[in-house]
Structure formats: structure tokens, C-alpha cells
Chains A and B, each alone.
Chain A
Amino acid sequence: MRIRRTLLWIPGNNPAMMANAPILRADTIGLDNEDAVQPGDKDAARILIRNYLESVRGKHPLELAVRINDVTTPYWKDDITCIAPAQPDAFIVPKVERPEDLYLVHELLTQVEKEHGLPENEIKLLPILETALGIENAFLIASTTTGRLDGIMMGGEDLVTSLGALRTREGREIDYARCRIVSAARACNLNPIDTVFPDVEDIEGMIADTKYSRQIGYSGRAVISPRHVTYANEVYSPSEKDILYAQEVLEAYEEGRRLGKGAVSLHGKMIDAPMIPRAQQVLEIAKMIRGGKL
């Protein structure tokens, strides 16, 4: 499963920002044809996104994702048919409320893949849950079996409107939704991706919120500013201590298996089964980070 500590939004109609995007240290770039582009320009933006993807394919190790418009708009179908042939790594589908929304996109995408002779099911889908209904249907959506689902994204800004809540710096009004998505994603063995921290200038607040995000179980978040990227990467990256511990967990587990022990302990604590894949993921992230990510 792909590691996404940061997903940086880049306006899909801005060639200058798109040209610099790969160097900004985010694990994933989200080329946006939804909120970042006016309705009158979405036709031009999707062509620009398509051409851009064709020009950078294979040149950079990061993930290139595209946010299409939601399935209630007249734009989403053209987004898929125009951009899919350029083979982005993933499509980000906003305002997903029911499994049907994802299946709709999956069907059209499969059709386009066939028409263009593209490998089947390689392009992933990342839904954003940002309405009350979407949050409530989180588990159903996470359980969809398109074979493309690679994570669940949390969208805090639109959600606040949907909930009739008031947006604050601390963000307690979206606590339930944030936690629910973690829970639904993990239950289906998917990585949850947290919402953006909306204040570009408030770096301290962003770091604190990202630490909280990590605490409640997110392995990454979307960011709206290049300035947030390195701070967020650091919070979601395992520390040297974490890496050492993960190595110890796996070693103890292996030793226990070799000696035929039923239960294994480390530093006086029992090693439960869920700790193993977590330890493996920590080492995976560490490997990916050390592989020339300075």
C-alpha cells in the first residue's frame, strides 16, 4: 500500500506551480480540477493536466493524482475521459457519499482503460468524505470492492458546512468525522489521509494539529501550502526510536516463531498480532524515506 505522508494540492490551471510541484517534497501531488478551477476554465485545465502528466510520466518517484469534479456535476465524466489516458497514479473523487458514487467512477474508468488499451485497474481511486452522509457511510464506502481503492481522505472544510458547525483553529467540530474515517479505513485495511490545515501562515498550529492527527491514527494528510510539507512529513515519519522499536518487534516475533513459542514478549510487554503489520509499515516508510528523500 502506498505511503502518503503528504498530499499537496496544486491548482490544475496553474502551469508555474505544476512545473515546480515534483520538487516540493510531498509524497503525492494532487492536481486539482475541482475547487481550484473556475467552472468556465475546467475544460482548459483538464487538457493542461493531461499534457502535464504526459510530460512528467516516469521522471519522478512521487505519486501523481488528479482531483476530478464530484459525480453530481456535469464535469466529472469529461475529467475521466480526458485525463485517464495520460495514466495518473490515482483519481481523487470529492464529496463521495455512497458506494454507488465510487462504482460510477470505476465503471467509466474501466471503460476508458479498455478503449485506450491501458493496463486494467492500475489507476487507483481516493475518495474524499466531506459531507454528513459521506461520514456516516464511511465504512460502506471503505468496503467497496472496485479493486482500486487505496485510501480514504477526510475533507474538513466542506464538512463543516454540511454539519452546520463552526470552524475553529482547534477543530473539535470535526473530531468525530476525523476519527470515524480512521476507524472505517483501518477496518478495511486502508490508510486514512487527513484533511488540510487551512491557515497557511500558522505553522505552529499546523504542526500541533498534525501531531494530533498522527495521534488519532492518520498516516498522512493533505496540505494546501508547500510550506507545510516538510513539517507534516516529519510528524508522520517514524523517528529513529520508532524504527529501532519496530526492528526489535519483528526480531522478537521471528525468534518466537523459530522457537515455537505461542506468545512473544518484548521489554516485558506482549507482542499482539496487530503490532506486526504496524512494525512492518514503519520499516517500509523508513526505507522509502531513506531512499534519497533528503
Chain B
Amino acid sequence: MTIKHAAVAGTLESCDVMITVEPSDTLEITVDSTVKDLFGKKILACVEENLKKQGVTAAKVQVQDKGAFDCTIAARLEAAVLRAQKEG
């Protein structure tokens, strides 16, 4: 699965996460989170795992998290990747 163009999913509301994916030659993930101290590692692991699941090996992923649970992070990531496939 290749990222064709930049796409965003999610919001900056409390308990949500905004994820931006852009085309890239390598895999780069940056995580900025209001709960970074306690869940920074978990959020990164969740993003890595779900990118793998979706077959994305190269992308620039920016995560702006406001305390979202894993199932929300996974959902927003899946939606962003999906949007990055669409034409136009």
C-alpha cells in the first residue's frame, strides 16, 4: 500500500487524535501527545503496528494526540491511509 498524497483524519478534540500521512521514501513517525509521559511509547507502538497491518512500509506520519485510546488511534490512522489512496 503506497501513500499517494497527503491526507488527514481525526480532530484535536479531547480523547481524539489527528493523524496526517504524507508520501515518503522511508517510514517516519512523529508523536506529539498531551499524555506523552504515560502513553508516548504505547501510541508509537500502536501506530507502527497498524501501519504494518495496512501494509504501509513508507510514509511520513504525524500524530497529534489529545489522549485517544488505542482503538481511536487505529481508526484515525486507517482513515488517513484510506484517504491517501483516493484519487483527487
Contact = CB atoms under 8 A, between A and B. Distances in A.
Contact of A44 (B13, B69, B75): B75
Contacts of A161: none
A47 B78 contact: yes
Nearest to A16: B15
Interface string A24-52: 00000000000000000001100110111
Contacts of A16: 13-16
A12 to B, nearest CB: 11
A50 B13 CA distance: 20
A166 interface: no
A128 to B, nearest CB: 26
B44 interface: no
B15 A19 contact: yes
A216 to B, nearest CB: 39
Nearest to A44: B79
A14 interface: yes
A43 B69 contact: no
Interface in B44-79: 68-69, 71-72, 74-76, 78-79
A50 B83 CA distance: 17
A145 interface: no
A47 B82 CA distance: 10
Contact of B9 (A14, A15, A44, A54): A44
Provide the main secondary structure of the chain A interface: helix
A19 B69 contact: yes
A50 B15 contact: no
Contacts of A44: 9-10, 75-76, 79, 83
Interface in A241-273: none
Contacts, number: 43
- How many B residues touch the partner, as a band? 10 to 19
Contact of A15 (B69, B78, B79, B83): B69
B14 to A, nearest CB: 5
Contacts of A43: 79, 82-83
A52 B75 CA distance: 9
A50 B71 CA distance: 9
B79 A47 contact: yes
Contacts of A14: 13, 16
Contacts of B14: 16
Contact of A51 (B11, B72, B82): B72
A54 B78 CA distance: 15
> Which of A19, A47, A55 has the most C-beta atoms of chain B within 10 angstroms of its own C-beta?
A47
B75 A47 contact: yes
Given A14-B13, A15-B15, A48 B72 contact: yes
B79 A51 contact: no
B71 A51 contact: yes
Contacts of A19: 15, 69
Nearest to A20: B15
Max chain A CB contacts within 10 Å: which of B10, B69, B72? B72
9 contacts: A14-B13, A15-B13, A15-B15, A16-B13, A19-B15, A44-B83, A47-B75, A50-B75, A55-B71
